[in-house]
Amino acid sequence: MKEDSKFDCMVYGVSEHKLICEKLGFKYVSCSGCQVVRQYPYPNQNEMDQYYTNYKTKKSFDSVYLTEAGFSIFKRDKEFTFKDLSIDKKGGLEEKSILDVGCGTGQFVKMMTEKTELIKGIDKSKECINIAQSNGLNCTSQDFLHEDGLYDVITMWHLIEHLLDPVEFIEHSYSLLSPGGWLLIETPVIGSVSASFGENWRYFMPIEHINLFTQKSLFKKCIDTGFKIDSWVRFGSGNDGKDTNVPNKLAMDQIAKQYGFGDTLAVLLIK
């Protein structure tokens, strides 16, 4: 990334913006062209490389994310998403060739081995891939943009918010999918929940979360690429459970999902 481009929106290409908040000394701004909220300025490659060194170890300090103990939670959440998107009613994932981009320690790959042998995960974190491979999972450390296979399904679970140029990944996914192929994206989205929490929103995570789409801006880029939006769901009230008692969190999560304003979006796109 050129030095002068780290101030321009990588989604829309303009520099005009408004300040949304500051978090841990970093700024988040909203692009005047597409309303994507981005870290400002964008982190450089050295900052990103340093952050993602020992990424799994770093995340494990705060949660069970990427750990074996968190697999059942991960699987439960994905099963909810599949149900919300009516995946099984559309033919399911059995025997389909699947590429999981940003696979981490291979939790989705592990989950899918029950349905298909044609599952592969890729991630740039060597620490995560080493763990996945030690568990016998078909995962490798590589750059997605150098991938040249052909797949029935590509998944990106909480990936695009980590990318400097997420549109490039969406466009490359389109080129790798068979006709009628699926792209499944799950990502935090800007909206009423993020606005209500301000700098305390759980997904404002400097260095890690770089570009945060609105639902409208993500859908537009996917449609511009050539995808058809098949189904989507929004869920999550913005409460991570640490400071909210369980009944209240469950009630707020249910309301956010029922009325479609949750702070996390899952969408099924078809080529």
Cα separation, 194 vs 253, in Å, equals 14
Nearest Cα neighbor of 43 from 246, 185, 205, 267 is 205
Cα separation, 148 vs 159, in Å, equals 19
At residue 60, the pLDDT reads 77
**Which H or E run includes 181?**
strand 177-188
Cα separation, 131 vs 42, in Å, equals 30
At residue 268, the pLDDT reads 98
- Percent of the chain past pLDDT 70, that is, above it, reads 98
> For the chain, what are the domain ranges?
3-270
Burial 182-211 (b: 16+ CB within 10 A, else e): bbbbbbbbbbebbeebeeebbbbbbebbbb
At residue 161, the pLDDT reads 98
Cα separation, 104 vs 197, in Å, equals 28
Cα separation, 217 vs 144, in Å, equals 23
Tokens of 116: 């298909």
Instruction: Identify the DSSP state of 117.
Output: S
**Which H or E run includes 196?**
helix 192-197
Q: What is the mean pLDDT of residues 123-141?
A: 95
Q: How confident is the model at residue 255 (pLDDT cuts 50, 70, 90)?
A: very high
| Average pLDDT score over the chain | 94
Residue 53 pLDDT > 90 = no
Angle CA(13)–CA(260)–CA(168) in degrees, nearest 5?
25
Tokens of 183: 């792209």
Nearest Cα neighbor of 167 from 209, 225, 214 is 225
- The residue ranking higher by pLDDT, 24 or 65, is 24
Q: What is the mean pLDDT of residues 172-193?
A: 98
Q: At what angle do helices 215-225 and 166-176 cross, to 10 degrees?
A: 40
Q: What is the mean pLDDT of residues 11-39?
A: 96
Span 3-270 CATH architecture: 3-Layer(aba) Sandwich (3.40)
Contact between 128 and 159 (Cβ < 8 Å): no
Q: Distance from first CA to last CA of the chain, Å, rounded? A: 29
Instruction: Identify the DSSP state of 230.
Output: E
In sequence order, what DSSP letters do the residues of 39-101 get, joined into one string?
Answer: EESPPPHHHHHHHHTTHHHHHHTT-STTSGGGHHHHHHHHHHHHHHTTTGGGT-STT--EEEE
Read off φ and ψ for residue 44, nearest 5 degrees.
Answer: -85, 170
At residue 225, the pLDDT reads 98
Residue 6 pLDDT > 70 = yes
At residue 93, the pLDDT reads 96
Beta strand pairing call for 26-31 and 37-40? antiparallel
Residue 50 pLDDT > 80 = yes
Q: Which amino acid appears at position 183 of this protein?
A: L
At residue 4, the pLDDT reads 52
What's the pTM? 0.95
At residue 5, the pLDDT reads 63
Tens digit of each residue's pLDDT (9 = 90 or more) over 134-159: 999 999 999 999 999 999 999 999 99
Q: How confident is the model at residue 230 (pLDDT cuts 50, 70, 90)?
A: very high
